[in-house]
Amino acid sequence: MAKTDNKEKSKKLFKLSRGQQIMLGVFLILLSIIIFASLTSYFNTWRADQSELNSFFDRDAEAGNIAKKFGAQISHFLMYKMFGLSSYIFSILLFISGLSYFVGANSNKLIGKWIWGILITIWFSLFFGHFFTNQMLGGAIGLEITDFISIYTGDIGVLLILIFGFVSYIVLKIKLTPEKIYQWIKEKFKINSQKNQIISNDESKLVDSDVKENKKNKESETESSVKLTKDLKPTIENFSSITKSDKTAKNDKADDIKIEIKENIEEEILDEDLIAKNLVKKYGEYDQTLELKNFQPPSVDLLKEYDNGGVITINEEELEENKEKIIDTLGNYKIGIDQIKATIGPTVTLYEIVPEAGIRISKIKNLE
């Protein structure tokens, strides 16, 4: 109990109020901004401020950094003596922490962010320290660690450590596995194949449309040529004179010929409903009882009569058997019976049991 009380007290002491969270958040945000500005200004003023680093408390000495003496000291410490260019990550972590406190977000997640941020800072420091000789990029820590590892394992050892750190971040933080990469490639391949299929379908459609247009053009050309040939009239160069008597004789013969005119009988187009109605008129409606035409309903003689004129018959043997069963069953639980009453009904017989004196009813209820 004492340990739990101490834990609760410690939690209450470290728990910040909402106002304290806002003030801490504002402080961390402003601190991250001034550190970020100092690190950026360090690239231009580090030579001029090198001589002023030891005169921090001298008021006459003036630093060229944008944040003056504080900026010169903090940027020299982080850039030159610590992690080099990757020190920017510290200012980013401070800004995220301040923002989370200011907004009132869950501060427990900040621990994981700081752990990953420090690991990434070390990884970049090793990377710049191995591939670049400038101490401003890798910092003193990056150069010293790469020199130490290269002494025992060579450059290949440093490369393997960098690769291991990169893969660990991808797998643990980003949660990118070979299965996910394979699935992504598979989906990308499917999308590309679908696009190619759509393009090929469009091209085939265009080719078909061109073929159809060419056919139409050819048909129109043939039709126009046929029309032209129909419109042409034959030229007769040599013709003989036709007498009027021949014309009249021909006209008389034409008058004697009778012309019979038959009307065009349109074919009836029947719908499905009309076809169905015609079939019903022709064959009649379907009779469902035809399949069971030999079925005969059962006679009334098959039913059993239970009407005894209101008199209920009593089966003495059945009552005796049920009584013995009840006595034996309750006797197994040491429950004595004083009296058994049987109420006989038309379908169910009700048995009422009166236990012996001294037997509790709860004992009988427990049997349920």
Tell me the DSSP string of 291-322: TTTT--PPPGGGSPP---TTPPP--HHHHHHH
pLDDT of residue 112: 92
Q: What is the CA radius of gyration of the chain?
A: 55
Residue 187: enclosing H or E segment and its boundaries? helix 178-231
> For residues 308 and 302, what is the distance between their CA atoms, to the nearest angstrom?
18
pLDDT of residue 228: 42
Domain boundaries, given as residue ranges, for the chain: 10-176, 178-228, 316-365
pLDDT of residue 230: 44
User: In this structure, are residues 137 and 128 in contact, taking their beta carbons and an 8 Å threshold?
Assistant: yes
> For residues 126 and 120, what is the distance between their CA atoms, to the nearest angstrom?
10
pLDDT of residue 125: 94
Consecutive 10-residue averages of pLDDT for the chain (368 residues):
54 76 95 96 89 80 89 93 94 95 87 94 94 86 92 93 94 87 83 66 61 63 50 44 47 50 50 81 78 78 66 80 88 86 84 84 75
CA atoms within 13 A on the CB side of 18: 2
Identify the sign of the CA torsion 320, 323, 325, 331: negative
- Token digits of residue 72: 């010169």
